[in-house]
Amino acid sequence: MKTRVSFTVNGDTIDTAIDVRATLLDVLREELRLTGTKKGCDHGQCGACTVLVDGKRTLSCLKFAASLEGCAVLTVEGIGKPDALHPLQAAFIKHDAFQCGFCTSGQIMSALEVIGDPLANTREAVREKMSGNLCRCGAYPNIVSAIMEVKSNGTV
């Protein structure tokens, strides 16, 4: 069964009929071909699929796309470009905050909320706030360093 839904992704309006069973993650990846958002578990357990919905970080594998009427979705493709990186993207490279890179989009989208979080001002607090995003490569200390740098300077 399909239903019509209208929302924006990275500022572009999407107005389309979608399978009611489809998650936002699968719509982003398979229909809109925005594959920067990753599927690590499909069950809300890893954070690889994190995007912002109306400015809040959201696990896109747990969100039915049909429920997004009127929402604004932001994915990793929408925050910076290879020649104009977002400061967080640049900081992730500088601090080597990834190895395989598979969790990275989700980490960066989560970090986007954390850099604006006034309660996350110490490494300890950032570690807590970033604990919904698993990284099996173990880049955690470097992820925290990247976030702390952007928090303190606003840039890299």
Rank residues 141 and 153 by Cβ distance to ligand FES and give the closer one: 141
DSSP annotation string for 66-115: GG-TT-EEE-GGGT-BTTB--HHHHHHHHTT--SS-TTHHHHHHHHHHHT
- In whole angstroms, the minimum distance from the beta carbon of 52 to ligand FES comes to 14
Rank residues 131 and 153 by Cβ distance to ligand FES and give the closer one: 131
Residue of 3, 16, 19, 87 that binds another protein (CB under 8 A): 19
Whether 42 and 62 have beta carbons less than 8 Å apart is answered as no
Q: Which helix (H) or strand (E) holds 35?
A: none
61 binding partner (options ligand FES, another protein, none; Cβ < 5 to 8 Å by kind): ligand FES
130 binding partner (options another protein, ligand FES, none; Cβ < 5 to 8 Å by kind): another protein
Whether 34 and 75 have beta carbons less than 8 Å apart is answered as yes
80 belongs to the binding site for another protein (CB under 8 A): yes
Rank residues 7 and 98 by Cβ distance to ligand FES and give the closer one: 98
Site residues for another protein, 92-151, by CB under 8 A, read 92-94, 96, 98-105, 108, 126-128, 130-144
Length of the chain in residues, anyone?
156
End-to-end CA distance of the chain: 47
